Amino acid sequence: MPSLDKRNTTMRMKHMVLTTLGCLLLSITTAAVAADQQEQSLKVGENGEITLTRPTKVVNILLLPDTYVVEHRVSGENHFIRFVELKHLETSNGRRTITYTEKDNAGEIKCRMQPLGAPATETSVTILAEDGGDRITQVTIKGEDVVHTFGHVSQ
């Protein structure tokens, strides 16, 4: 019959091996999740426009693939970013025109500010590509020394 010390040593070894395997599995899973999350920054055009090619969430608002104008609004100490969809319409004489959707239908989101350290040189929108789809995480406004960030709402 094995001694008590040998059994304790064997159990400690099994525990160490299982702990090591658990840590290895956790690190592999974390690396796989990190690989699925890729961030990209879209430069906002001269007229404040961005084009989304995939459905994209901003907090709890879903923006469908289309072209949007990014607007910034300040009310007191609160900052808001609004995404106004552009619509392409054909007139009766066959010309194409571009118009905005109703402002009430726009996606406006209250945001938090993070210091940049220096004024931004361009307006940009940062999109995080996650396993469940794209999500806008922040907006930088040219000339401002803050980044406008959005909280994440789970479904």
Taking the CA atoms of residue 15, residue 19, residue 20 and residue 24 in that order, the dihedral angle to the nearest 10 degrees is 150
Query: Which of 21-25, 45-49, 104-108, 121-125 is modeled with the greatest confidence?
Result: 121-125
Distance between CA atoms of 73 and 108, rounded to whole angstroms?
Answer: 9
- Is the predicted pLDDT of residue 48 greater than 90, yes or no? no
Q: Answer with the residue of higher pLDDT: 110 or 27.
A: 110
Q: Where are the domains of the chain?
A: 1-36, 38-149
